[in-house]
Structure 1
Amino acid sequence: MTNTETVALPTPQDTHAFGQALGGVLRPGDLVLLAGPLGAGKTALAQGIGAGLGVGGRVSSPTFIIAREHKAGSRGIPMVHVDAYRLGGSLDELDDLDLDTELVSSAVVVEWGEGSADRLSGDHLLIRLDRQVDDSRVATVERYGAWVDRPIS
């Protein structure tokens, strides 16, 4: 079962705040997939999620290292931040990251994970970010499985 909603994000600060609210409700085992073209705000959203989780360290794009684990902070939940862009949709390389093990104790956020990382859990959020002509963003949030009835902020 799926459920979809749209969220207007007029400024980068709004994108961060939306992520922070989402990070405030994430639990160990949660999977969030971020989709959208380059420059759409996926990393800004991931930074907000990290802030909401209270993770330690700076949240930045893990493009060249593929995955970065952020230690648990104020909420006691670590975050694994993955950039699947360089994996080119390779399921074998995604399996090598052992994310299903990380899902036991961490919130996992995967940029460019649509169509590959979604198979890690039937219970996940897919957030598609679209850049508008006026440079604002719109997030389309698709809820799958248990997320249909869970609040995101």
Structure 2
Amino acid sequence: MKVRIDTAERMHSLGLALGGLLRAGDLVVLSGGLGAGKTTLTRGIGEGLDVRGPVTSPTFVIARVHPPLGDGPPLVHVDAYRLGGFAEVDDLDLDADLAAAVTVVEWGEGLVEGLSEDRLEIRMSRIGDSESREVLITGVGPRWDMSDWNGIVPD
């Protein structure tokens, strides 16, 4: 599914909608350049999951766990930008939390796909010099039947 997102508020709203669909055991892999909207999307996902916040970029701590405020799963938010390869990802022990949490990995492309055969891959890119983003959401594995996702993108 490919969508155009024109504002940070709409990116947040997309995350909020995704948060309503995600469940424990889900892996979301985010890719895109600096300022593409990865953390804004994750902030919305956290709000949709109803986790303790604020959800901010974990660049310097690498990973942050946001416990649920209700009955839902926690959010494990990872920034893999500074990781040097799969061995460093493995050191984070993400697979230990994977079944019980929603795990969102910024800059995870090429590093974390082996954690789960089911995952959402979300690639964000700027459209020219505008503030608009093209967001490509790809479901991988049997968990993600995306045929009924037409209503997921907020107006």
What TM-score do you get using the length of structure 2 for normalisation? 0.91
Partner of 1:145: 141
How do 1:16-35 residues align onto structure 2 when only pairs under 5 Å count?
A: 16-35=12-31
Partner of 1:91: 86
In 2, distance between residues paired with 1:77 and 1:146?
21
2:36 matches 1:40: yes
RMSD: 1.3
- Whichever residue aligns with residue 139 of structure 1, its letter is V
Task: Return 114-123 or 73-82, whichever deviates more.
Answer: 73-82
Percent identity between the two aligned chains: 51
In 2, distance between residues paired with 1:101 and 1:14?
33
1:28-63 Cα shifts (integer Å, max 9, x gaps): 000000000011010001101001001012000000
Structure 1: 5+ residue stretches without partners: none
Partner of 1:15: 11
Shift of 1:77: 1.0
In 1, distance between residues paired with 2:104 and 2:144?
18
Shift of 1:75: 4.5
What TM-score do you get using the length of structure 1 for normalisation? 0.92
C-alpha distance 48-75 of structure 1, shift in aligned 2 (>3 A):
farther
2:2 matches 1:6: yes
How do 1:51-66 residues align onto structure 2 when only pairs under 5 Å count?
A: 51-66=47-62
